[in-house]
């Protein structure tokens, strides 16, 4: 009779199957840990990038504000120049007035332009103060921004390092997991993956701990515990559905 050694039908004992599943679970837990480790850093890098983008926008806005204030200062200076020219003209006209009304009108105009100049000077002082305040804020912002940029360089470096370090480890674990998976019949493997997915701690195979299921901690009757120790049947917890094994098979001493 010809035997096909490659067939997945190679008979494994229940004990071997349980042991394989438990090892498989260990590999998968390790892979999950790597994912978690890496999973936080990309988020931190992303957060820093977002924060830096926000700070840069603020910096850009402050600089735009300063340009606006500078433009406003120039505008007020031009007004002063215009008023100065007008005052000079009115003053020269004063020498040639023909009547009191003309004199009064010119005097009023000169006074008005004088007030306009005072107003412009006040505005220029205000804008200059605002520019100084903005420059202070820019200096503070730049300091914060530089710090965040330095953080980003560091975090990016850490992430790259972890990715390159764990990539190899993860590939090795996946390789091992694949080998183990090939030793488990597809129906059992599907069930194992389904239980694992549904379990909060990602454990589909648990060992008995203090007479209780190691997954949900419900008590297991003595007879059932005996059956589990015999390793002749795949026994699941009636409460949580996890596959149960004895501590020894899990390599744990009671």
Q: Report helix, strand or coil for 108.
A: helix
Q: How far is the CB of 194 from Zn ion (least distance, A)?
A: 15
Q: How far is the CB of 2 from Zn ion (least distance, A)?
A: 43
Q: How far is the CB of 33 from Zn ion (least distance, A)?
A: 23
Distances (CA, A) of 167 to 44, 160, 162: 19, 10, 8
Name which of 156 and 224 has its Cβ closer to Zn ion: 224
DSSP assigned state of 59: H
Interface ranges with Zn ion (CB under 5 A): 213, 215-216, 237, 239-240
Q: How far is the CB of 212 from Zn ion (least distance, A)?
A: 8
Q: How far is the CB of 238 from Zn ion (least distance, A)?
A: 8
Name which of 81 and 218 has its Cβ closer to Zn ion: 218
How far does Cα 210 stand from its chain's mean position? 41
Name which of 60 and 217 has its Cβ closer to Zn ion: 217
Q: Is 217 left (phi over 0), alpha (psi -120 to 50) or beta?
A: left
Name which of 94 and 226 has its Cβ closer to Zn ion: 226
Please check whether residue 7 is in contact with residue 234, taking contact to mean a CB–CB distance below 8 angstroms.
no
Q: How far is the CB of 214 from Zn ion (least distance, A)?
A: 8
Hey, which residues does 235 pair with through a beta bridge? Answer: 244
Hey, what's the torsion of the CAs at 22, 26, 27, 28, to 10 degrees? 100
Name which of 173 and 215 has its Cβ closer to Zn ion: 215
Q: DSSP letter string over 10-52?
A: ----HHHHHHHHHHHHHHHHHHHHHHHHHHHHHHHHHHHHHHH
Name which of 124 and 235 has its Cβ closer to Zn ion: 235
């Amino acid at each position: 009779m010809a035997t096909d050694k490659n067939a997945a039908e190679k008979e494994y004992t229940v004990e071997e199957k349980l042991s394989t599943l438990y090892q498989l679970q260990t590999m998968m837990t390790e892979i999950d840990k790597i994912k978690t480790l890496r999973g936080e850093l990309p988020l931190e890098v992303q957060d820093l990038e977002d924060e830096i983008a926000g700070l840069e926008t603020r910096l850009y806005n402050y600089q735009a504000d300063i340009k606006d204030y500078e433009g406003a200062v120039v505008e007020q200076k031009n007004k002063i120049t215009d008023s100065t020219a007008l005052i000079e003209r009115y003053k020269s006209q004063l020498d040639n007035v023909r009547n009191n009304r003309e004199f009064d009108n010119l005097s009023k105009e000169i006074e008005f332009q004088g007030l306009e100049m005072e107003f412009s000077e006040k505005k220029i002082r205000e804008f200059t103060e605002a520019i100084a305040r903005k420059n202070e804020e820019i200096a503070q912002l730049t300091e914060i921004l530089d710090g965040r940029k330095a953080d980003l360089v560091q975090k990016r470096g850490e992430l790259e390092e972890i990715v390159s370090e764990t990539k190899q480890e993860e590939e090795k674990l996946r390789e091992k997991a694949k080998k183990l998976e090939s030793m488990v019949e597809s129906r059992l493997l599907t069930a194992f993956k389904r239980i694992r997915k549904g379990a909060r701690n990602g454990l589909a195979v648990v060992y008995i701990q203090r007479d209780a299921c190691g997954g949900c901690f419900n008590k297991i009757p003595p007879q059932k515990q005996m059956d589990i120790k015999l390793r002749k049947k795949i026994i699941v917890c009636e409460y949580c559905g996890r596959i149960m094994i004895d501590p020894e098979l899990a390599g744990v001493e009671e």
